[in-house]
């Protein structure tokens, strides 16, 4: 798998799950942008998948 494939997978995940995410919008409105961001990174399964794919980019592919 090369960098382009990983970037395409990341873009697909963001477009499919994150653009219209109800929880992200709710947490931004009710709490804050920072709270929503931390939720996405630490508790959301899509965010965890994005982190794994991002870690692949930091390694040599």
Give pLDDT, residue 59: 79
Give pLDDT, residue 55: 93
- List, for the chain, all residue ranges whose pLDDT scores fall below the cut of 50: none
**What is the C-alpha to C-alpha distance for residues 55 and 14, in angstroms, rounded to an integer?**
16
Strand runs labelled E in the chain: none
Give pLDDT, residue 60: 64
Number of domains in the chain: 1
26: containing domain: 3-58
């Amino acid at each position: 798998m090369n960098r382009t494939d990983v970037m395409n997978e990341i873009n697909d995940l963001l477009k499919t799950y994150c653009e219209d995410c109800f929880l992200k919008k709710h947490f931004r409105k009710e709490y804050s942008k920072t709270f929503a961001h931390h939720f996405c990174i630490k508790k959301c399964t899509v965010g965890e998948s994005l982190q794994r794919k991002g870690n692949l980019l930091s390694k040599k592919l």
